């Protein structure tokens, strides 16, 4: 099972959060790896697909690591009975472009400072409303 990845897109405006079109909740740019991709390759591809960041941006692998239950991602035990979790790698990316180009997976994006982002997520349960 290829690893999953999460991106922290940041600049002086704060961190980017995107509103999912299928669940109406805020999230960072995330996605799963494809067969044969390294975590960094998957992060670069997801940044291009979800935010239009296909330039020469510096990606920094962060120490933050997590695992995600495979059934939460695929709905079943894909990969066999011994594959219970998918490793998640996190990368930081400094964004120097004024606008992002979202994929069909998201309806809008916003720049949030940490305190405002956290307060909004707690108050709204991460809802985009």
27-78: pLDDT as tens digits:
777 788 888 899 889 888 888 888 888 878 888 888 888 888 877 767 777 7
Q: Can you give the pLDDT at residue 124?
A: 55
Residue 20: per-residue pLDDT: 76
How far from chain centre, in Å, is Cα 117? 15
Q: pLDDT above 70 covers what percent of the chain?
A: 74
Q: Which secondary structure element, helix H or strand E, spans residue 64, and what is its range?
A: strand 59-69
* CATH code given to domain 4-124: 3.90.79.10
Predicted local distance difference test score (pLDDT) of residue 76: 72
Picking from 50, 88, 57, the residue whose alpha carbon sits closest to that of residue 72 is 88
């Amino acid at each position: 099972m290829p690893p999953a990845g999460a991106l922290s897109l940041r600049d002086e405006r704060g961190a980017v959060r995107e509103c999912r079109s299928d669940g109406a909740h805020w999230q960072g740019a995330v996605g799963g790896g494809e067969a044969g991709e390294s975590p960094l390759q998957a992060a670069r591809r997801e940044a291009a697909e979800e935010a239009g960041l296909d330039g020469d941006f510096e990606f920094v692998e962060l120490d933050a690591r997590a695992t995600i239950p495979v059934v939460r991602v695929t709905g079943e035990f894909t990969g066999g009975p011994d594959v219970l979790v998918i490793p998640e790698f996190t990368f930081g990316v400094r964004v120097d472009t004024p606008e992002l180009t979202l994929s069909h997976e998201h309806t809008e994006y916003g720049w949030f400072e940490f305190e405002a982002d956290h307060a909004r997520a707690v108050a709204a349960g991460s809802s985009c409303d």
